[in-house]
Structure 1
Amino acid sequence: MPARFALQAGERVLVSTRAHGLRLLRPFLVLLLTVFLLSLAQRALELRWRPVAEPWTTVRVWADAALLVAAAWVVLRRCARPVLRWWRTRYVLTTRHLLLLRPGGPPVSLPLAGLLRVSAEPGRGPALGRRDGRVVADFGRLGGLRLEHAPEARQFARLVRDAADAERERVAGAWAAPPGAPGPGPTRVGRDAVVAPRPDPYRPPRRPWV
């Protein structure tokens, strides 16, 4: 499961999603190529090398086993692992925070009250009717987030912008409350956030799911 996060009092989840399924295209192509090359290598051995005496028959068995082990390693490393990371990584928008939940690390959580700007950039490659893209959120000195292959990127960015406007109004009202009223809670910024003081949201992204 992805890293869990605790909602503050009165906080609600608005959007909880994961990267577009197009992100699985590379693992799928790697799987097809691996199966093709394994079949080709096994067929070549069958046609070109058929030993009938020791120790070559044993060498042939070990060669077949080595091919299977190599193919399994590629599938686990380049196919199963990216798919698992894709499944366990989520983009979450609440009424107070924008979060990146990923396996193997704490959630990256940034307060919407500190949002400076958010934009949706088109995805790489031809459009072909795609609606996914990169959502870039700049939080000034707090850092920022780049959410790759966010589904419905333009709509997601608009929801972030609207939620940030509502949160700033809420925070302004909270500071105008009588003394002793609780203010906004603390925020944790993880290693996937853009470093202050002046983050550049248009630099190449860092992908935590390599």
Structure 2
Amino acid sequence: MTKRVGLTGGIASGKSTVSAILRELGAVIIDADALAREVVDQGTPGLAAVVDAFGPHLLTEDGHLDRPAMGELVFADAGARKKLESIVHPLVFERIVDLESHAPAGSVVVHDIPLLAESGRADTFDAVIVVDAPAETQVERMVRDRGWTAEEARARMAAQAGREDRLAIATYVIENTGTLEDLRHRVTEVFEELTAES
């Protein structure tokens, strides 16, 4: 039986690394953020619908969606964000259903969803993996890896669910405070438990 698993974690927790390790171990990864970009790629019906709703000024010179401009618009205007979501979310959902339907029988299908705790959809999965790191570790990583100030890092974290909210939905917690080898070992343990149960 296919097992549907939600994967989430705060910004700079290491969720992308965990996702990559799970893929190496044989999980089917469905990345909601990647799909949200894919459905509004150049030449897609999704991009045409966005242009119809918001105007051609949101296109770059070469016909792609101007993501920074779109981001500014929707972060400043809740109505615009809802309108964009009403276009993108059904298309993403369609792709998710399609990808799930093509997953091999008995596989572990991992849905990489950064805002799973915020979405209220944790209970739609057979299990939820939360990648966890202390707040100060997250801030250090954003300053080191992304060149942000500590204030920018904390502001980005404040816009997400709190650590307690994420841990409350976890079936499995993967602490990411050690080495990459430690992380790989823990992810492998979790994957083996998931495959043993299916």
Structure with the higher helix share, 1 or 2: 2
Q: Greater CA radius of gyration, 1 or 2?
A: 1
TM-score by length of 2: 0.26
TM-score by length of 1: 0.25
User: Highest relative contact order (Cα 8 Å, sep 6+), 1 or 2?
Assistant: 2
